Structure 1
Amino acid sequence: MQGISAGGEWGSAVSFLGEYAKPNRRAFIVSFSQVGSAAGLLLGSLTGLLISSIVSAEALNDWAWRPAFLLGILIAAFGLYVRRNVEETPVFQETKDSKHQKEQPLVNVFKEHKMRMLTVFLLISGALVTYWLILSFMPTYISSFLKLPLSSGFSLTAITLIVYMIALPIAGLLADIFGRKPIMLIGSGGIVVFSYPLFNILANTTSYASMATVVSLLAFIFALFQGPNTVAMSELFPANVRVSGFSVPYQLASAVFAGTAMMAATWLIDKTGNVMMVPIYMCATMMITLLTTIFLFKETKNVSYDK
């Protein structure tokens, strides 16, 4: 159900921001879609930290997790308000008025842009695994496998998300200056190279300061990829099929990689007894993203976003 919701909103939100942004600041503006997503996770982590600090573990497992989920209903009212009060972008309206809008964008995007959709699917595959393992799985990893208090896991996740939210617009600015591809290569390559040694430090230290430094570095490196990647994927498609072209492969990858990331990590640790399977799995999937960035992705910095 969450995937259906995200699938209907994510591509539209990215396109909306991109179509309103100035061409030389598009990556910077669109990066705030990721900031918003991270802000939701941050609110979730702070809620988890609060609940785990005031109730026992037994109460948390029994009933106390439910109020946190009920808070999510509030987004429905906000979403309804936005849908009723925000006008379409000038780019969309111009496409509609000029009769270039596709009557069946989903059918057309599969006919005309299959390779671009495949590029999006592969680009986001490793990024989704990394996203969920670094930014959401961390409390479970720290409490269940590193045997530290659950509150430590939530607080470290909060630090990770704050660093990530700050780094995303910086990465967007860099992508507007130097291009999407160079910054994406630094970010995806950085995860492949540094995630294992950083997780090794995390698994072998009892210093909270060291752990906070490690998760902050992971968040910053990953943000270098995510900052430009979101706008780059949307720039692969013309305006008349952009939302469908971007959303469909993104949500398919979400189902395959994001939806299974934490389950796969838990299963790998259980079967091997090795807590380092998390960065190994992360590196393996991020290698797909890195190779796609090198060989399939073509620089999109200067493409027109209104055609």
Structure 2
Amino acid sequence: MHAALKTGAPGAGTRTDRKALRRVVGASAVGTTLEWYDHFIYGSAAALVFPKLFFPESDPATATMLSLITYAVAFVTRPLGAAIFGHFGDKHGRKNVLILTLVLMGTATGLIGVVPTYGSIGILAPLLLVVLRFVQGIGLGGEWGGAALMVGEFSNDGKRGLLGSLVQIASPVGLLLANAVFSIVTFLVSEEAFFAWGWRVPFLLSTVLVLVGLWIRRQVQESPLFEEEAAADEVGKAPLLEVVTCHWKRVLLAIGSRVGSDVTFYVFNVFILVYGTTQLGLPRQTLLTAVLFGAASQAVSIPMWGHLCDRIGRRPVLGIGAVGAMTWGFAFFPLLGSGVDALVFVAPAVGNFFIAAMWGPLAAYVPELFPTRVRYTGAGLGFQSAGVFGGALAPIITAALVTKYDTWVPVSVYLAALLVVLISCVAIARETAATDLREIGR
């Protein structure tokens, strides 16, 4: 345990510094909200819409599996995006790269909203879906690392965990927006109209968020720590090569520290839609409402855990979240199976409270593993590579487990196993809450 950190952070606490910090936190949060909104509307559509419209020739179980595989594509391409944009972010600065990632992922999401279905163009429809999901993943891969480290490189007074958690709130806010839009559309139009055109509305609305995000990000200053590195001619010459040769252990720790929370998030917020509709026969509207309760729980809890990780450290908070989620994983499915609305709503709400403990500290914890000269590349690569082993494989593994065993128990065991990995990596990692970012790697 330790007191709130006292770090030699960039600003001196002047009004100008505080204004710049507010801008960078706001810009990072808005851009990352768009990232997660794009991600979650695709996840919802992959569970509820795409099997019928893009894979109609397959039986329902196979169609769902194929649809979820397209969902996994972005997870596989995210590390590539992290490597590409991390390279430019570490060599040429964070600000312009973050503007580019915002445009790329927003454009891809908007185009998904106008892709013709299988009934119109046949096999070309799912192929276009995969291509756009690929592009979306590239943009998403470069987004989080830059947004998270910008907040840390601007913040001071021992509040990196709290301020970083405000970026992490973008995840449940994006989930809230995504599911709220889907809920509104499903409420306002008939099921026939929803499958005909209503499902496209959430994707097309992404273009509005892009314009808002661009307006905000154009006003943000460059990272002061990057400017110090550039002025001293200490900018990384080959950031990716340096990361994989000199900091690969830190990348592995970042991957292991996140992969369990990634799978937990998928199970409690996306798989609930698949399992609830196909195995339990619960109404789609009930499940979407339950996910909204979960997102609200997470959004409220994240800053609490972010503040706490400044007080007691990143590692204890991450461990608390992992143990809690591991335990709740065995209560989650019985609550859904009860069919009682109140219990169905409680299941993701409590689950997301524990996810918040594993999620809130990550925007501070992962960038703090790497020195400034390669922080964009290292943080992005570690964070996004975890998605390959977590979010990308989770839809395939969970669907296969339920199909083979016809019970939820193997899913909870799978979840617990990955949370053990998280706990192990966090135990190995060095506590960084009280560390000056300038001193990391020196």
Give TM-score, length-normalised by structure 2.
0.65
Match of 1:212 among 345, 358, 367: 345
How far apart in 1 are the matches of 2:392 and 2:434?
Answer: 33
Aligned partners of 1:179 and 1:299 also within 8 Å: yes
Amino acid aligned to 1:11: G
1:152-301 matches, cutoff 5 A? 152-203=286-337, 205-294=338-427, 296-301=428-433
In structure 1, the residue corresponding to 2:361 is in which secondary structure?
Answer: helix
Q: Which has the higher contact order (CA 8 A, sep 6+)?
A: 1
Q: Give yes or no for the alignment of 1:121 onto 2:255.
A: yes
CA pair 303-157 structure 1, distance change in 2 beyond 3 A: same
How far apart in 1 are the matches of 2:173 and 2:211?
Answer: 18
Aligned partners of 1:142 and 1:152 also within 8 Å: no
Q: Deviations over 1:15-56 (max 9, x none)?
A: 011112224111010011110122111100001111222333
Aligned partners of 1:35 and 1:165 also within 8 Å: yes
Aligned partners of 2:297 and 2:352 also within 8 Å: yes
Q: Alpha-carbon deviation of 1:111?
A: 1.8
Match of 2:159 among 18, 21, 25: 25
Aligned partners of 2:250 and 2:369 also within 8 Å: yes
How far apart in 2 are the matches of 1:49 and 1:139?
Answer: 13
Provide structure 2 residue ranges, at least 5 long, that are not aligned to the other structure. 1-134
Aligned partners of 1:169 and 1:227 also within 8 Å: yes
How far apart in 2 are the matches of 1:272 and 1:74?
Answer: 44
1:77-96 matches, cutoff 5 A? 77-96=211-230
Q: Show the counterpart of 1:130.
A: 264
How far apart in 2 are the matches of 1:8 and 1:195?
Answer: 31
Report which stretch shifted further, 220-229 or 262-271.
Answer: 262-271
**Greater C-alpha radius of gyration:** 2
How far apart in 1 are the matches of 2:404 and 2:210?
Answer: 40
Across the aligned residues of Structure 1 and Structure 2, the Cα RMSD in angstroms comes to 1.8
Aligned partners of 1:52 and 1:60 also within 8 Å: yes
How far apart in 2 are the matches of 1:235 and 1:182?
Answer: 16
CA pair 63-269 structure 1, distance change in 2 beyond 3 A: farther
How far apart in 2 are the matches of 1:146 and 1:277?
Answer: 17
In structure 2, the residue corresponding to 1:137 is in which secondary structure?
Answer: helix
In structure 2, the residue corresponding to 1:148 is in which secondary structure?
Answer: coil
Q: Give yes or no for the alignment of 1:41 onto 2:165.
A: no
CA pair 260-58 structure 1, distance change in 2 beyond 3 A: farther
Aligned partners of 2:366 and 2:383 also within 8 Å: no
Q: Alpha-carbon deviation of 1:114?
A: 0.8
Q: Alpha-carbon deviation of 1:196?
A: 0.9
Q: Alpha-carbon deviation of 1:302?
A: 1.3
Q: Give yes or no for the alignment of 1:302 onto 2:434.
A: yes
How far apart in 2 are the matches of 1:202 and 1:163?
Answer: 17
Aligned partners of 2:148 and 2:363 also within 8 Å: yes
Q: Alpha-carbon deviation of 1:175?
A: 0.5
In structure 2, the residue corresponding to 1:65 is in which secondary structure?
Answer: helix
How far apart in 1 are the matches of 2:231 and 2:429?
Answer: 31
In structure 1, the residue corresponding to 2:315 is in which secondary structure?
Answer: helix
Amino acid aligned to 1:267: A
Amino acid aligned to 1:305: L
Q: Alpha-carbon deviation of 1:155?
A: 0.6
Q: Show the counterpart of 1:103.
A: 237
Q: Alpha-carbon deviation of 1:82?
A: 4.2
CA pair 253-300 structure 1, distance change in 2 beyond 3 A: same
Aligned partners of 1:140 and 1:153 also within 8 Å: no
Q: Deviations over 1:75-115 (max 9, x none)?
A: 33344434533211212211211222112211111121010
Aligned partners of 1:18 and 1:26 also within 8 Å: yes
Q: Alpha-carbon deviation of 1:182?
A: 0.9
Aligned partners of 2:317 and 2:358 also within 8 Å: yes
Q: Show the counterpart of 1:75.
A: 209
